[in-house]
Structure formats: C-alpha cells, structure tokens
Structure 1
C-alpha cells in the first residue's frame, strides 16, 4: 500500500513502548510478539551476540541484576532499560557479550526496529514518534538519530501530552473548556494545559520533569520498604557503606518494588515474596537473603506520595501561573502506567480535581500519535521512492482534522508524476466509507478541481477515490483514499522552553541568558526568533580559524530571562570564524540573528553581518550533555553554603528556606546514591536548579538593604569625582543618575538597582579612566606570577612599557593599548571583561 499520510505513531517510552496504525480511519494498536499492547523498552544481547528486545530481554535484565549480587560485580551487563532517560547524554552501555559500548540512541533504535517488525503487511519508511514535552533539544535530536538508525527516512516528533489529548478529544463529548494532561510515565513527567473551543485544541502552557517517573517510584519503594526490611532482618551495614554494593542491591530489589507498585494499583495488599536462593547475594554474616513483606496501601502511600507530590506541585504551579485552579478544569486526563495508582488518584482528587479515567493511560499516546500521523503528508522524498507511476498520480489536499461537517477538497492530476497514458477526460468519484454519501462523478484535470464533501460527526471519516474515463471504465490511481477526523482539531504544539542565547550585557558586562523575540515559552511552532543589532567584541580576520564569534544557544525555563548559565540547558555553541567570512569584520560590528524552529523543533540559525552584507546559515548539531561528578558535588556544596549565609543574615524562620534546606538534603542523598550513574546525576542537577532558583528568590528579598547602601556609596563617590574632573556634559549625566537613584530607592527594585549600580560604576570608570589604567598596570606588575600568561616575556615587556609611561607622562591614549595587549595574553576566565567571543546586546 502506498500511503500519502504517515499513519504510523510510536510511543517510545522509558519502560514500555507501543506502535499504532490508522486502519479504516481508526487508530489501532499493533500487538507485540507476545500479543500485548505494549512492549518493555528493554534490550538484551545474548552470548551468541544476538539482540533480543521486549519481554525476553526484560526477564534477562531481572536475572542480570540479581546475579550481580553474587560477587557485587555489575561489570558484565548485557541487558539494558530506561536508556530513554540518558538520551542526549554521552552515556555508554558496555555489553560484555558484544564486546563494545552502545549509546542510548543505538539501544532506542533496537526498540524501534522491533516495534516496526510487528507490522507484517508493509514496510514503514515514515513515522511519528512521541517525546516528553519537557524533553530538551539534544534529547529530541537523539530521538531522531535513533529513528534514522532504525531505518526511518521521514521522522516527525510529537509531544506526548499533545498526542494524548488528540486521542482523548476524538472520543470525548467535552468540546470546550480547559484540559490538563497529567502524563506520569516510566521515566518522565509532563503536565500540559490545553484550551478547547468547539473541539479545537490549543496547548496553552506546559511544564515537566525529565527525571521524574515510575523509576523514582520503584526506588522510593526500595528505599522506604525493602531496604528497611533487609536492615531489620539481615546484617548489611558494610553493603550500605559501599556505593557500588549499595547501588547493586538497590538495582536488584527494584524489580520486586516494581511488581509491588503494579499489584497495588489494583489490590489492597501485596506480598513481596522470594524463595531461598532467588536472591543470590549474602549479608555481612554470610546469610542468604529472602523477602517476605506484606505491603499495604498505607505503606505504599508513605513511600510513593512524596514522588507523586512533586508531579502534583508541578501541575499546581502550571495552573497558578495561568490564573486557574483545579475547579477550573473540565478534564484531568491521566497518561502513563503509574497513573493507575489509587494513591495518586486520591491525591489528585484532593488537590486538583477528580481525574477522567475514560482513556487507557497505556495506549492513549500511541493512538494519538497515529491520529496525528494521519494528518501529516509523507515527505516528497519518501513518496518518490514508493510511487507506482503506472497509475494516475493524484494530489489531494485534504485537512487531516476539522470541526466542520463540510469540507472543500482540492484534487488534481499530476501529469509529470504519471508515466502511463492519461485519458482526455478523467472523472473522480469520492465515496464516504459508510456509503451514505458520494460526490458523484466530477471531471478533474491537471489544473485542479474542488469537491465539497460531507462528514459524519465525531469520528474519523474515510473516503474512497475512484477514477473513470468517459466510457465509465475504472482507472487505477494513487492515492485511492484519504481520511479526515471530524469533531476535534489539534492546534500546533508549543515551545516547552524559552529559546535564547547568552549575551554580554552592554550595561553590566555580565554574560546572561536572553530570550529571542518570537521564541518565548509556549510560542506556537513552527516559529521564528530574531535578535538584531548585536555587537562583536573584537575584529574577525578573514581566513583565521582562531578568530571567531561564539553564539551559545540555550533552552531556558519559565522566568529564565537574565539568569545565569547553570539555570538553563545548553543546546550548542555555534562558532563563526574568520574562515567562514569573506573579508575583515571590524570590532563592534552589527550581527543580526534569526533562529528557525520547525514543527519537530529542529533548529536552524542564520547570522547576517550588515557591514559585509553577508549571511551564513548553520544547522544546529546539539551537544551531548555531560556532568562531571566533582563539579556537581561542588555545586551542591555551594548551595548548602548559600543557605548558611542566608541563616546568618537572619532567615532562620523563612518557610521557603526551610523547605529548600530539606530539598537539598534529599538532593545530596540522591547524589550519594547515584554518583556513578549518568541518569541519576541528570536528575540531581534538575532538582538542584529548582533549589538554586528558590535560594536566589530569597537572596533578592534580602539583597535590597545591601544594594541601597552600595548605590548611595557609589553615587557619592561619582559626585565627588565629578566635582573634581567633570564638565557640563558629565553634570547632566550625574543629575540623571540622581533622579534614577531616587526612583529605585522609592520602588526598592533589586533588578533595576543592580543595573543602575553597574552603570554608575561604568561612568565613574570612564571619568577616572587614567587612574584605573595606572592601577591595572601596577596590579599586573605586583601580582605578575599569579596570572597564567600565554607569553610571559611579552607580558613582562608590556608591563615595563606601561610603568615607563606612568612614570613619564601618563595618558589614556598611551596606556589603553598596553592594557588591551595584556588582556589578550590572559586566559578568557582571567580577563576582567570575561568571554570576548560572545556577542554584546
């Protein structure tokens, strides 16, 4: 069958995956090899180096984790799961049987290949794959890479909550109001707020956590139920003190925890039982482990409710910033296996509203992906590969979904795509699948004709297209059918993050994140962002690779504007060097940026240089995220230090501070448990960022008294300098600063006050520049050996020249070139001006 729409959707999940296809207009799950709707996203390489995926691989994984306890050795891994959580990182999974390392993308590709194999009647070249709304750009790029490795030529990505709402919306009678999609999967959590008007769905806002999901529930059960049981009944002190042994124990117990989690989603109690010998490890006294734990709903609630609460808090914050409450919602849609939990459903009912349980949480995303796929044309490249040009080729421009009951469908013959003979007159008859409506025979040609069609309400309408010649003989054509979903229409997906660049602020000199206009969070995609009038900090010589402009692209969370780098997710650094430019680009030249994001959130950057009248276009190749353990440990230590400082400043009874201190204790505990785990460290960093933001908020509240004192001190110093060195122009500037200072003090605006402080300092520096330059020469001379000079002899010579100018006839014109030359000999991090390769704006 040749398809003009993609029609296939895959839910590539952390723990389970599924594939659906549109059949007779309906999204249909393709059963796995074990006749289930979903398949474990698990890969196993056996001793014969053959790759197994699914249930058999999952069983091998359980055996592997238990066997690792024999000698506390986890170095012979051959079964892998939850690699979706390390997509976009440099994590490698070493297979001893294969004798090589596998990336998350390679493992995901094996899952995709297996899902594809469940379709027996055709080859699939095009696919829609769902991703969490909170996925970062590098994770999306990694998903595309996995799909290419799996043999797909045309790949479209769709946010999971959008897919779920599309499937839910087709069957729901609710066609108006606000919907909240609560998507708690095996490894990620997404909350998406949609506004629905007469069946037309638009994503209003999203929020999520890429490191919050069923895996966290499993380990919570291990840590709160199973490990305490083992501690009470066995001697395991040495195991718990050893990071590797402890992680091995936790990993092996995770499968008992997962079984308990699933059973208690449908039962009041569950017995975690193991026979002697099932668990091969021994305690400190040589005794074999056995489990015999009766877990109740109360036990489960105590263990998992803190994890679920994190997801609920994300949802409540999402509603709050959109001025909504749970009572404002018309539907709360549950997605993901963990949402079967009665603990979660009770918590949602108490804190948000009663959830709608009409959709199957396990298949709603895959079916929604197939529905979306039925609205997306197969790429022209794939179409050309599959065309049967002996048939008359048609172009049918139908909408994939609509809320109308009548549609006008353009249809025409593609003569250049048809190799066979086309009769002088060709007639088309379009018939609805239920045979209750037909267009009759309408003459069509290569110019095009518009046919009015009638749709049944609230379902997918399939239409058959038959061509005839003037004698009434049937002509073979392609395509011979199309479908339209009536009753709901999904609006475009939205950006889950602010997309922006790091720029050096011309007022403060600080390098900060700046959102590109048009690429703000929740902007409908595809989207275009711009930032014009940026300035280079140095000249770029043609042909010189060492001369370059750096454009660091970032994804920023809600309220990311003006924040520091650790708060935001690095996409990539785009470098434009002298080798890319046709001629010399002087210092302080303008640069205009345009960033394009397509419907699958693929990014392209165009940089235009007005001075050269030259543009360069760069496709974004995202970087792999890598988190160094010592760096992360230090960031946690610094965060704890910030709390101590805030307490010293008198914040002992600040409720926010007490909460963030508790959160940091959990973050540090999680870090200790996951020092050697890429996924675990990513989760720790995500949670640390949230705590740092709260610390900064508290700091802002306490910053004003200190800032006010600094502002007054700096202004009085400027006034004194102006009396001695100023003129009529500087008097006007100082008077303007005085009125701005009065306004800032009146409003107690910390952000504006900080900018004003920098501006006063900059102006003071300009007015007293000669003294500043003399001071710099003296500083470099005094502390010469503390700097890491690129060329010590040249640096010493320049300093001596500067000292000579200071001693004879000091002037700005004489000293400034000396200081600039000295700066160029310093590493970027030691220069007072910071990174001179980023743009100023």
Structure 2
C-alpha cells in the first residue's frame, strides 16, 4: 500500500544511528544486520573498493587506528566515524582504496543507505531525519544533501530533543508542567525546555554545544587515565613531544576509553587489557601493553569536568527562564553517555532526579517515526506511488490530539482516480481494536465528516472501507489513518536569532540585526519582515558588477548589535543588475521577508517598491570554511585586548586572569590542530565566548567615555532643537532627556549605545537640510579640488543647488542634486565603506 504519511524516522547520530517505522500505531525500531537497535555511524572502504557500514566498519576503524601506532602514520586509513561533526564544512576524508576524497555528506549518505536497507518489505522515498537543536543552517542543509545522495525524495528535519519529547510524552502519565530534555550524544549536546499543558507540548527554549559529546568523554579517559598509565610504565616522551604522534596515540587509545565508558555505566570496575603486539613499541623498543583497573572513582574524576559543561548549559537555560531544578516535572535523558552513573548523580545533585523510563538510545528514532506519522508525504512523491485504479481519498484527520473525540473530513478525489466511481459511495471507519465503528456514511467529492472516538494515551489506527449502494467493497487509497491521542507537539522553535548585517544610518557601523519574528525560540514555521531598508548605491540593469548583498547570520542570545565574528554566517544573498529589470537608483527602499518552514528550510524575498519587482531565492547548502590565518589573527587580537585591559588596571583581576588562561589554552589547542576542521570550529566557538567576556570587561571601562559622549551629543541635539524644532520635536527631546537620566543612573553601556544611536538619528533628521546645504557650499567653495568627470555639468549642478538654498530649499531637491554630483566623482573621492550592504 502506498503510504500517505512518511511513517519512517532516522536518528542520524555522531557515533550510532537507528531507523524506526510506524507499525499498527506503534513506533518500531528496525533491527540492524547484527540484530541490534542501533548501528555504529562508521564507514569502511576495503581494498576491493567495497563500502562497509556499521559494526564491521567500526571494527576496521579500530584495526586501522591501532595499526597506525606501529608506523606512526595515519594517512592511509580507509575507516571513518564522527563525520557528523564536520557536516557542512570543507572537511574531506581521504580514501587511498578509492583513490579520492569523500565529504562528510557522502559518508553520511552511506549510513543512511544502510539504515534504509534494513527495511525489506518496501522502498522508502520519504524520511524524517533528526538533527541537533544547536545545528547551524549549513549543517541542516548538509544533512538534507546527504539524504538526497541516499535516494530520499522527500526529506523533513526534526530537532532531536523534540523527537525525544514526543516519544516520552506518549508513554508518560505526566501531562502538565515543565520538561527538560538532556540530550548528550556522541558528538553534540542539546538541552530543550518544554512547557506541557494537558498533553500539549511547547518548546520554550533550547541551548547546546555542537562540540560537546561522547567523543570528549572518551578523550578525557584517554588523557586522564590511559596515557598517564603508559607514561608511568613505558618510555613515550618522544611520542608526546610530537603532536602528530601524540594524536595517533590518542586516537588508538580512544577505543579502549569508549569500552571503559560503556562498561562503567553498568558495573563498578573495568579492566582495560590489550593484546601483546597490538600497540607497538615505546622509545626503548619495549612492547606497550595496557593492564589498567578503572574504578568508579577514577571515571568520576575524568568525566565530571566534561559532564559539568553540559550541566552548566542546562542550569543557565533554566536560570534565564527563572526556573530551578525543583520546578521541573521531568528530566528526560537522551544519548548513550546518559547511562553513566557519574552524570546521573551530578544531575540529581545539581538539577533534579532524572526520569529513566525512556530508552536513551532509541527514544529519538522512535520519536522521529511518531512525528513522521503526522507528516503527509509530499505531493510529488504521492503522485509517483498512487494506484489510480483505486478510489483516491482525501482524509483530513488531526495527526495528534489531546481530545478523545475528533471530526474527520473524508472526500473522494475524482481527478486522481482513473477507475470507475459508483454514483453512491459509503465509507465505514473502524478503530483498530474493533471496539468502535462509525457505521456507513455516504461520501462524495464534496466530502462529509465522520466523528471518531479515540482510546486514550496511544496511537489509534482506523481502517476505512468503502462500499457501493449494493454493499460491495470498493478498493480505496488510503485505506487507513492514525491519530496519536494524549500528547500534541506544538512545534519546534528557532535555536538562534535569525538576522542580517546592516549598516547603521547614524553611526555607519555594520552590525547584526535580528529580523522581527525570527528571534530565538520563535515557533516554526516562522516569517520575518524588515521593511524600509535602503540601498547605498545605484544598480544598473544587466550589470553583474553592480550588486547589493544581504548577509544572513544566525546569532545567540547576545547577538543583537554585535560584530559578525560573534555569529554564524549562513549565506550572502547577492542581487545584481543582471537580476533587476531596470535601473535602481541609490537610496531606494528594500522590503525584506525571510520565511523558515517547519523543516527549517529558508526562503528569502526582497521587494523593490521603486521597480515593483520581487526577487526570491531559497538558501541552499553552503560550505563552511574557517581560514587558518584569519583565525590565528583573531586569537592574536583577542590576546591584545587582554593586554590592553591589564594595562588599563580597572578590570576584575580574577576574571581577567581566567580569560587570559582560557585564551592561552585556546591558542595552544589551535596550534596543535591547525589542519583539523572540527577542532578549528571548536576553537572559533570558544573564541566567540572569550570575545564576549572581553566586551563585558571593556564595558566597565567604557562607561565614563560613553557618558561624556552621550551628554555632548544630547546637548548638541538640544541646541539644534531650540534653533530648528517645533512642539513635536521638543516633546521627543524631553523623552530622550528622561532616558538619558535613567541610563546615567544605572550606567548601562548597552542601553547607552542604543540611546546614543537614537540621539544621533534624531539630530541627523532635524539637521539634514543644513547638512545638505553644508555639503553643497563645500563643493562650491572647493570646486577645483575635485576631479569631476564632467566639470561643466558639475558646475551647473552646484550653481543650481546654491540658488535653491536661497529659495527656501526642499530636502529632496538638494539630495538629488548631491547624488548627481557624487556620481561624477572618482571612487577615491567619495565616502568609503561597504556600499553593497543595506542601510537600516
């Protein structure tokens, strides 16, 4: 039977993946080829160029990493894992056996193909794939690309914490209160706060770290337990002194660490044992062996600092919502590392006791399948799979509900049906347990409504049987539908503020500005609009060299008004003269609309009122690339800022010392991993945090200067208003005076900067005519100092402008004269700055 709902969900994990399908109202895990619920997200390419995925690939990976210790060369490895952490980047994985490089998306596609192969009874065209809530736009687009490479035609993305809460919500008796989903996976960490009212779930905040997960736990065990043991028992100074050899050693030991981490999640001690000859020789030619007994005390010491990072993120999220651990009605665990008793004890001590009723390894995949049962297959895929010889139906049922009765419209789609449709058609809807039936209800192409009754707290499956007026059964499609009763997911939310870079009218600074209705935690789908943006220069039709750009960014809580480096670049929308139908003069309006659908696909629309022209584009996959030299320079500048703060002598010494220490560690990490894309991304993420902390310290020394500038600019505005203002402007100035007094009282730098912009804007508007007059008089007095392209025409325009000044001039008239004059100046004689971005 052709499916009308997607019904399949995949948890595409960093270290393990799983696929689930809806069967008779239940989300069922499809077993792997080794009859497990999950499969390692590992790929291996053998010498015959055959691709292996899963357990066999993971075993080959372990062999490769151990083998590398004997030659201290890891370049010939054909085994891969944890490539999810480099999705959307320019990272490539070399395969000597294939003779080419592979992208993260190509490797992920192999994992998806293998998961799909575990379904033997039908072909899958549509899929729901889960992604971390903290995934950036380019990572989501990379996931879509991997799914396309795996042969899926209809792809929906779902945030992992939302999937987990959906599966948990169906099975739990808790239908009200706050839930915290703590998702500690193999390579990423997410935390989501949900508010649940009578089973209706709403995500109200999310946070996460794309560089925190089981991988960090494994290396903590390597660095704190295994390598110290080897140092104590063998001579490896030369290995530790060589960054390349040290990393090969750490990668090989990671497998022993992972085994230890898993074992100590379920027992008190674990022995790490290696076979003689597996690990190569030390500096003195002695065979390295491992024989370590690891206790819960040992593992607690190693793992606690890593787990603490995740707990701190969770506590910060709760604090900004004015909640405490005791406010939570459920703390839901997701991901293999959450089996750790170390973590569970820490969570209980610092937040609240976790709810362990859901399986952390499968809850995301099952939740994805449940969500998939609520999503219609795309019309394109549906058309490919229709059996038009059967009577085609449209069944408009609610996919999930907290009610026990629902109204379901059913109608015949005559235009989609090729077989004969009797004059009279009756439908009977029967619940799967056979305990309820609607009786026969006549339906047609207009449709009728059937009232259904639901069993509480489960997925209800209903069969739909059609009859003619003689009682003969008619074949129909679809012939069933399902409704989840007892919980209803409101929607996913935006994990970041979505916005653009704009040039500020008053200050000329280019800063991030959030688009209204695209703020962090806004439910999706969402549509944001920003009207009245201005172009800086004219764009000639047909000229590709003439263009404006709309730089789109994702930013965190403190994104508004910040520099670009603080935020994640999504893409630059470039609109050139080649796309425009006619000349777009300088200083014209642009109305921007950005829409984000439920799968977080982004569409950008720019409307130009002057041209009555609309430009539309969909944000496609972009490749993230971090330039090594640029990152090195940014770290150097950050360290320079620390030095300036120390010389200033007004900063908090304790915080400054910690910042300096953090930056030194970050710099060392960068130096050791300059060629590692994942490591550079993590360094940049941590650098952003340090830069924000530096700004906070700078704000404390910045206030005296800002206060003086605020007073100076306000007195200038006040004087201009006395000379030029009216009753309306006087009222506005009085409002600004009250704001100024309040800002000075609380010494708030951020509010002060905002107020400074407002004062400057108002002054600019109030005195614009005089500024234009001043520019024209300057051109008149220094006419010969400029290199005019048409001196006679320029002289005529200047004379016209001077004449207008004496005739009660109009602002727009003078502005148009000045625009024409600027067009006759060479580039080096006009104001500088990025004139391709919009002004707002």
Report the counterpart of residue 8 of structure 1 in structure 2: 8
Could you tell me how far 1:391 is from its partner in structure 2?
Answer: 1.3
1:69 counterpart SS class: helix
Map 1:300-339 onto structure 2 (within 5 A): 300-339=299-338
Whether the 8 Å contact between 2:787 and 2:826 is mirrored in structure 1 is no
Q: Distance in 1 between matches of 2:271 and 2:826?
A: 69
Report the counterpart of residue 250 of structure 1 in structure 2: 250
- Say if 1:374 and 1:518 are closer, same or farther in 2 by CA, change over 3 A: same
Q: Which range is displaced more, 634-643 or 399-408?
A: 634-643
Whether the 8 Å contact between 1:189 and 1:212 is mirrored in structure 2 is yes
Whether the 8 Å contact between 1:773 and 1:819 is mirrored in structure 2 is no
Whether the 8 Å contact between 2:256 and 2:272 is mirrored in structure 1 is yes
Report the counterpart of residue 152 of structure 1 in structure 2: 152
Could you tell me how far 1:687 is from its partner in structure 2?
Answer: 1.8
Report the counterpart of residue 339 of structure 2 in structure 1: 340
Q: Distance in 2 between matches of 1:353 and 1:818?
A: 69
Report the counterpart of residue 784 of structure 1 in structure 2: none
Residue 441 (structure 2) pairs with residue 442 (structure 1): yes
Residue 467 (structure 2) pairs with residue 464 (structure 1): no
Report the counterpart of residue 209 of structure 1 in structure 2: 209
Report the counterpart of residue 143 of structure 2 in structure 1: 143
Whether the 8 Å contact between 1:182 and 1:334 is mirrored in structure 2 is yes
Report the counterpart of residue 34 of structure 2 in structure 1: 34
- Say if 1:758 and 1:173 are closer, same or farther in 2 by CA, change over 3 A: closer
Q: Which range is displaced more, 107-116 or 685-694?
A: 685-694
Q: Distance in 2 between matches of 1:189 and 1:507?
A: 40
Q: Distance in 2 between matches of 1:219 and 1:492?
A: 36
Could you tell me how far 1:654 is from its partner in structure 2?
Answer: 4.8
Q: Distance in 2 between matches of 1:98 and 1:821?
A: 59
Could you tell me how far 1:759 is from its partner in structure 2?
Answer: 7.5
Could you tell me how far 1:501 is from its partner in structure 2?
Answer: 0.6
Whether the 8 Å contact between 2:651 and 2:697 is mirrored in structure 1 is no
Map 1:721-760 onto structure 2 (within 5 A): 744-754=743-753
1:167 counterpart SS class: helix
Map 1:433-582 onto structure 2 (within 5 A): 433-582=432-581
- Say if 1:236 and 1:821 are closer, same or farther in 2 by CA, change over 3 A: farther
Q: Distance in 1 between matches of 2:295 and 2:733?
A: 72
- Say if 1:461 and 1:709 are closer, same or farther in 2 by CA, change over 3 A: same
Report the counterpart of residue 595 of structure 1 in structure 2: 594
Whether the 8 Å contact between 1:428 and 1:466 is mirrored in structure 2 is yes
Whether the 8 Å contact between 1:509 and 1:833 is mirrored in structure 2 is no
Q: Distance in 1 between matches of 2:211 and 2:562?
A: 22
Could you tell me how far 1:284 is from its partner in structure 2?
Answer: 2.8
1:289 counterpart SS class: coil
Q: Distance in 2 between matches of 1:347 and 1:698?
A: 31
Report the counterpart of residue 261 of structure 1 in structure 2: 261
Report the counterpart of residue 227 of structure 2 in structure 1: 227
Q: Distance in 2 between matches of 1:385 and 1:12?
A: 26
Residue 827 (structure 2) pairs with residue 824 (structure 1): yes
Report the counterpart of residue 134 of structure 2 in structure 1: 134
Q: Summarize deviations over 1:365-410 as a string: whole Å, max 9, x none.
A: 0000000001111111111111111111111111111111111111
Report the counterpart of residue 191 of structure 2 in structure 1: 191
Residue 108 (structure 2) pairs with residue 105 (structure 1): no
Could you tell me how far 1:351 is from its partner in structure 2?
Answer: 0.6
Q: Distance in 2 between matches of 1:320 and 1:502?
A: 30
Q: Distance in 2 between matches of 1:757 and 1:28?
A: 59
- Say if 1:519 and 1:468 are closer, same or farther in 2 by CA, change over 3 A: same
- Say if 1:267 and 1:612 are closer, same or farther in 2 by CA, change over 3 A: same
Could you tell me how far 1:751 is from its partner in structure 2?
Answer: 2.9
1:502 counterpart SS class: strand
Taking only aligned residues, the RMSD between alpha carbons, in angstroms, comes to: 3.3
Report the counterpart of residue 623 of structure 2 in structure 1: 624
- Say if 1:624 and 1:832 are closer, same or farther in 2 by CA, change over 3 A: farther
Whether the 8 Å contact between 2:390 and 2:477 is mirrored in structure 1 is yes
Q: Which range is displaced more, 474-483 or 356-365?
A: 474-483
Whether the 8 Å contact between 2:427 and 2:467 is mirrored in structure 1 is yes
Q: Which range is displaced more, 379-388 or 672-681?
A: 672-681
Could you tell me how far 1:609 is from its partner in structure 2?
Answer: 0.6
Could you tell me how far 1:636 is from its partner in structure 2?
Answer: 2.3
Q: Distance in 2 between matches of 1:39 and 1:771?
A: 72
2:262 counterpart SS class: helix
2:130 counterpart SS class: strand
Whether the 8 Å contact between 1:432 and 1:463 is mirrored in structure 2 is yes
Map 1:308-457 onto structure 2 (within 5 A): 308-457=307-456
Could you tell me how far 1:680 is from its partner in structure 2?
Answer: 1.2
Report the counterpart of residue 275 of structure 1 in structure 2: 275
Q: Distance in 2 between matches of 1:229 and 1:652?
A: 42
Whether the 8 Å contact between 1:773 and 1:816 is mirrored in structure 2 is no
Could you tell me how far 1:274 is from its partner in structure 2?
Answer: 1.0
Structure 1 unaligned blocks of 5 or more: 777-794
Could you tell me how far 1:76 is from its partner in structure 2?
Answer: 1.1
Q: Distance in 1 between matches of 2:751 and 2:396?
A: 53
Q: Distance in 2 between matches of 1:151 and 1:506?
A: 48
Whether the 8 Å contact between 2:42 and 2:57 is mirrored in structure 1 is yes
Q: Distance in 1 between matches of 2:207 and 2:826?
A: 43
Residues matched between the structures, number: 815
Could you tell me how far 1:656 is from its partner in structure 2?
Answer: 4.0
Report the counterpart of residue 809 of structure 2 in structure 1: none
Report the counterpart of residue 789 of structure 1 in structure 2: none
Whether the 8 Å contact between 1:247 and 1:673 is mirrored in structure 2 is no
Report the counterpart of residue 298 of structure 1 in structure 2: 297
Could you tell me how far 1:226 is from its partner in structure 2?
Answer: 1.7
Could you tell me how far 1:247 is from its partner in structure 2?
Answer: 1.5
Whether the 8 Å contact between 2:651 and 2:700 is mirrored in structure 1 is no
- Say if 1:761 and 1:367 are closer, same or farther in 2 by CA, change over 3 A: closer
1:70 counterpart SS class: helix
Whether the 8 Å contact between 1:507 and 1:755 is mirrored in structure 2 is no
2:69 counterpart SS class: coil
Could you tell me how far 1:659 is from its partner in structure 2?
Answer: 4.0
Q: Which range is displaced more, 665-674 or 49-58?
A: 665-674
Residue 117 (structure 2) pairs with residue 117 (structure 1): yes
Could you tell me how far 1:174 is from its partner in structure 2?
Answer: 0.3
Q: Distance in 1 between matches of 2:325 and 2:102?
A: 44
Could you tell me how far 1:667 is from its partner in structure 2?
Answer: 2.6
Whether the 8 Å contact between 1:518 and 1:530 is mirrored in structure 2 is yes
Structure 2 unaligned blocks of 5 or more: 780-784, 806-813
Q: Summarize deviations over 1:163-219 as a string: whole Å, max 9, x none.
A: 000000011010000000000000111100001111111111111111111111111
- Say if 1:353 and 1:756 are closer, same or farther in 2 by CA, change over 3 A: closer
Q: Distance in 1 between matches of 2:426 and 2:272?
A: 69
Report the counterpart of residue 782 of structure 2 in structure 1: none
Q: Distance in 2 between matches of 1:718 and 1:441?
A: 78
Could you tell me how far 1:69 is from its partner in structure 2?
Answer: 1.9
Map 1:35-184 onto structure 2 (within 5 A): 35-184=35-184
Could you tell me how far 1:743 is from its partner in structure 2?
Answer: 5.5
- Say if 1:823 and 1:562 are closer, same or farther in 2 by CA, change over 3 A: farther
Q: Summarize deviations over 1:113-152 as a string: whole Å, max 9, x none.
A: 0000000000001110000111111111111111111011
Q: Which range is displaced more, 354-363 or 315-324?
A: 315-324
Whether the 8 Å contact between 1:199 and 1:489 is mirrored in structure 2 is yes
